[in-house]
Amino acid sequence: MPSASFSSSRSYVRRSRRKGGHRIPLPSRTQSSEPCESVPCPNNVSGGAGGGAMAATACAGPSGSGGSGGGGSPPVPAAAPAATPGHHSPYDLRRKSPPAYHEPSTSAACALPARKRPRTSLSQGVDVCNVSQYLQYELPDEVLLCILSHLTERDLCRVAQVCKRFNTIANDTELWKSLYQSVFEYDTPLMHPAPCQFEFVSVDECEADNPWKESFRQLYYGIHVRANYRPKKDLRIKHFNSIRGALDYVEERSSSCACGNGSNNSGAGCACRRAAPALVFVHAGLYQEDCLAIDSDIQLIGCAPGNVAEAVVLEREAESTLTFAEGATRAYAGHMTLKFSPDATSTMQHHKHYCLEVSDNCSPTVDHCIIRSASVVGAAVCVSGAGANPVIKHCDISDCENVGLYVTDYAQGAYQDNEISRNALAGIWVKNFANPIMRRNHIHHGRDVGIFTFENGLGYFEANDIHNNRIAGFEVKAGANPTVVHCEIHHGQTGGIYVHESGLGQFIDNKIHSNNFAGVWITSNSNPTIRRNEIYNGHQGGVYIFGEGRGLIEHNNIYGNALAGIQIRTNSDPIVRHNKIHHGQHGGIYVHEKGQGLIEENEVYANTLAGVWITTGSTPVLRRNRIHSGKQVGVYFYDNGHGKLEDNDIFNHLYSGVQIRTGSNPVIRGNKIWGGQNGGVLVYNGGLGLLEQNEIFDNAMAGVWIKTDSNPTLKRNKIFDGRDGGICIFNGGKGVLEENDIFRNAQAGVLISTQSHPVLRRNRIFDGLAAGVEITNNATATLEHNQIFNNRFGGLCLASGVTPLVRGNKIFSNQDAVEKAVGGGQCLYKISSYTSFPMHDFYRCQTCNTTDRNAICVNCIKTCHSGHDVEFIRHDRFFCDCGAGTLSNQCQLQGEPTQDTDTLYDSAAPMESHTLMVN
């Protein structure tokens, strides 16, 4: 009836509240009071004793000055009786201000003195007016609360309409809490602001004045499944002993709807059901009923104190435990445990039976459920078919003996905030053009892969935490193309992400770290996009591309991995650009076994081994990268490593900027190679290569070293400002040097030594701090059409026995600092330094017992060793040991002796690579 409806002045919104906010404080009972305002009452209410207290109260009210006693309202007392001294109600429900009463008629039967009314008891035989006054003003609050606690929710709503005092007491928070928990059993109010939306809200955070009453109002239309429960006789809430009984009741009720499917044409009822799907509360217990198949808008929710989901259990041994079928567009299942426990001895096939099944053209919401399956085949949850679009959230899908969640056959849906763990197979399967949205799920400790998308599976995966799975955290296979963003994929017992067999996918802004194998694996014609991820602290490599894998690897931060930051092998051909690859415990990028790839605009730095390794027939292209500050070589070509190195900035390595060895034949063009602590470019042990249009400068040793049967081609390079020689060729080195500018180097522009035989054509060698070209130690060379000028120790300096082929060279404007020093009587050590040595005649002194490693200049022989037994050795480059102070007698042409420093013209042996461990 209308007078018993639950009303609320505002919709439910969460907010913080002060304690005690659900009670309205009013003055104490010790104050004088005015009568409560009464609600309107019917005109035919009897005023006799048989009318009842509620009727008398409803009819009480102030009389008019001209009122009569026949058909009008009964007269109202002029004053309230005195309150009992010292008695205070805990509810403070009286008002302080006394009412302004009309002067009572002398003939009124129930009149009292105007200013003071004595306490009246029911035993004094007063009429119904005094009964009304007593109930409204004198009955203690505690007694009223005790009486009201026995009422149903409808009766409480009626009482609340009697007067303001009754309204306040009838809306008491504790009163409604007790009533609420007797019906719904929840420890916290459950708010239901919209269909398929339920949320427990603490009393302190609820916006409603009385959260328990507000929750009761929102949930009131539901029916209950509560086995063997005996409700109060006048309780109008429906109760059933089984879920099937409740569902049958809902079906019967909906069949009488006026939608053209029943005989009842009550349009109001139909609209009500369209606005609010049927609500069924399932109370605590184990329900092992027939398979529940829901094909209409029914909301099924657990109902129990404590942990609701654990207390309400639906279990099946055959067929699916709970199935949503076509028509369940606004269905709901929440706060319960779903179990599928097939009998191991049963012969019934159950590979297509699941704990929870969502089929074509339905969109239920599954919320806060615990889902368990003991079946060793199938999946705990299966969502399949076009139009299947559920919302599954806050569920625990764990400890299943098969796949946790299986989405297939064009199904969609939103899956968020779920716990998916410790499942025997994958945590999640996505297959056959299924396209789910999965957010904020926790997928971990699976005995297989975390998420497996395959056979054209799609999906959008955001902000998931995927870790400690036995195989990869995320696997993509066979045309699958998921989008994975803002996920954390870590501590996998094998790899982080595994893309294989033509897999695709976009992996963007993820954190991929601490996996036992590579952070990302790409193989067998797969072509994913790996963008803006952090890939770090892997127990092996960062990104591993092999077996003809491809992929776009860009804008990632790859660091701290035990092996290479990026490894490319076996005909793989990715695009690697705009990445930071740094602080690896191994190398930066490792390309081997015919690996390819375009590697451009990356920053590769501070790695323990080489910044980039290229070996065993590999042919990558490296463009516009910054490769620097490595603890060994910048770019290392070895064992037939090839490829192109173009427009890169390679600097500040502990070894050479570039090393080429053992048959490697790269093209190195347009690079800046500088600041190497062991030289710019080292070509040795049969290395080849074309070095063209590079700038090689400011290296601690030679700009380019060519040694041990190596034969590179150098064209149009600028090699300058080296702290050693420009180009040093020795130990049988060869090579063709054409049209290079070699200038301002501390040692010889070109030094040729020890059986080497290069060809120099059309080079300009100038402004050197030592000689332009020096040939020594049984080496030879072909020099054609070179310009050699303005070098300090001369243009072309030849040691004894050296006969190069010289044709068409221009040697001019060179200084002769050596001859000038000899003519001035100086020790030649005076004009040497740690890196430049003059070429001139040198001697040994038998008297001073000099060895094969000692040399003495001509002026020291004449002055310091005059009269000694001396021997002319040869014309060659050296520094004077006499002037250096390494002999027993002190040099007479020098001041204080300086310490001898021999310069070793060789590279530190490059550290050999270790075989990368791959799975």
Q: Which residues pair with 673 in a beta bridge?
A: 650, 696
Give the count of beta carbons closer than 10 Å to the beta carbon of residue 807. Answer: 11
DSSP 37: P
Mean pLDDT lowest among 132-136, 430-434, 680-684 = 132-136
| The pLDDT of residue 304 is above 80 | yes
Q: DSSP class of residue 854?
A: -
Q: Measured between alpha carbons, how far is residue 889 from residues 328, 374, 821, 854, 861 in Å?
A: 107, 95, 22, 14, 12
d(CA 257, CA 242): 24
Task: Please check the confidence at residue 23 and state whether its pLDDT lies above 60.
Answer: no
pLDDT tier at 117, thresholds 50, 70, 90: very low
pLDDT of residue 835: 55
Q: What is the pLDDT of residue 630?
A: 96
* Residue range 136-161, pLDDT digits in tens: 778 888 888 998 998 888 889 999 99
- Whether 910 shows a pLDDT value over 60: the answer reads no
Q: How confident is the model at residue 437 (pLDDT cuts 50, 70, 90)?
A: very high
Ramachandran quadrant class, 606 (left: phi over 0; alpha: psi -120 to 50; beta: rest):
left
- For the ranges 180-184, 601-605, 752-756, 839-843, the lowest mean pLDDT is seen at 839-843
Look at residue 561 and tell me whether its pLDDT is greater than 60.
yes
SS3 (DSSP) at 713: strand
In this prediction, residue 130 has a pLDDT band, given cuts at 50, 70 and 90, of confident
CATH of domain 221-248+277-343+351-416: 2.160.20.10
- Give dist(CA 243, CA 245) in Å, integer: 5
pLDDT of residue 237: 83
Classify 1 as helix, strand or coil.
coil
Would you state the pLDDT for residue 40?
A: 35
Residue 311 has pLDDT above 90, yes or no: yes
The contacts of residue 392 (CB under 8 Å, 6+ apart) are 365, 366, 367, 381, 383, 405, 413, 414, 415, 416, 418
| 304 C-beta neighbours (distance < 10 Å), count | 21
Q: How many CB atoms lie within 10 A of CB 465?
A: 16
* Predicted local confidence at residue 344, as pLDDT: 66
Is there a contact between 658 and 673 (Cβ–Cβ < 8 Å)?
yes
Coil vs helix vs strand at 524:
coil
pLDDT at 163: 87
Higher pLDDT, 377 or 540: 540
Residue 16, phi then psi, degrees to nearest 5: -80, 145
3-state SS assignment for residue 415: strand
pLDDT in tens, 220-240: 999 999 988 877 666 678 889
CATH of region 838-884, choose from 3.40.50, 3.30.450, 3.40.190, 3.30.160:
3.30.160
| Nearest Cα to Cα of residue 109 among 124, 128, 95, 94 | 128
Those residues whose C-beta lies under 8 Å from the C-beta of residue 344, and which sit 6 or more positions away, are none
pLDDT at 212 over 70: yes
**CA proximity to 626, closest of 600, 652, 604:** 604
What average pLDDT score do residues 672-697 get?
97
What single-letter amino acid sits at 210? N
Q: How far apart are the first and last CA of the chain?
A: 74
pLDDT at res. 834 = 54
pLDDT band at 329 (very low <50, low <70, confident <90, very high): very high
CB atoms within 10 A of CB 603: 18
Which value, to the nearest 10 degrees, does the dihedral of the CA atoms of residues 95, 98, 103, 106 take? 70
Tens-place pLDDT, residues 854-896: 889 998 988 999 889 998 888 888 888 888 888 888 888 876 4
User: What's the rounded mean pLDDT across residues 754-762?
Assistant: 97
Helix (H) or strand (E) holding 303: strand 298-303
Q: What is the mean pLDDT of the chain?
A: 83
Q: Where are the domains of the chain?
A: 137-220, 221-248+277-343+351-416, 838-884
Judged against a pLDDT cut of 80, whether residue 845 lies above it is answered with yes
Neighbours of 11 (CB within 10 A): 11
pLDDT, tens digit, for every residue of 460-469? 999 999 999 9
Which CATH code is given to the segment(s) 137-220? 1.20.1280.50
